[in-house]
A = this chain, B = another copy of it.
Amino acid sequence: MKEIESVRESGGYLNRYTHGEMTFSVYLPPAAKDRQVAALYWLSGLTCNDDNARSKGGFQRFAAKHGIAIVFPDTSPRGDDVADEAERYDLGQAAGFYVNATQDPWKPHYQMFDYVTRELPALIESNLPLIAGVKSVSGHSMGGHGALICALKCAGEYRSVSAFAPIANPVNCGWGEGCFGAYLGDDRSDWDVYDATRLVQGGARVSDILIDQGDADEFLHQGQLLPDNLQSACDAAEQPCTIRMQSGYDHSYHFIASFIEDHFEYHARFLNA
- State the A residues within 8 Å of B (CB): 7-11, 14, 55-56, 58, 60-61, 214, 216, 248-250, 252-255, 257-258, 261
Contacts and interface: CB of A to CB of B under 8 A. Distances in A.
A8 B9 CA distance: 26
Contacts of A58: 58, 61, 257
Contact of A254 (B8, B216, B254, B258): B8
A260 to B, nearest CB: 9
Given A8-B249, A55-B56, A56-B55, A254 B61 contact: no
A253 B248 CA distance: 27
Contacts of A258: 8-11, 60-61
Contacts of A11: 258
Contact of A250 (B8, B214, B248): B8
Nearest to A254: B9
B8 A60 contact: no
Q: What number of copies of this chain does the assembly contain? A: 2
Nearest to A12: B258
Nearest to A56: B55
A8 B257 contact: no
Contact of A255 (B8, B214, B253, B254): B8
| Nearest 4 interchain pairs by C-beta | A58-B58, A9-B254, A8-B248, A7-B254
Contacts of A8: 214, 216, 248-250, 254-255, 258
A250 B8 CA distance: 7
27 contacts: A7-B250, A7-B252, A7-B254, A8-B214, A8-B248, A8-B249, A8-B250, A8-B254, A8-B258, A9-B254, A9-B255, A9-B257, A9-B258, A10-B257, A10-B258, A11-B258, A14-B254, A55-B253, A56-B56, A58-B58, A58-B61, A58-B257, A60-B257, A60-B258, A61-B257, A61-B258, A61-B261
Contacts of A55: 55-56, 253-254
A56 to B, nearest CB: 5
Nearest to A55: B56
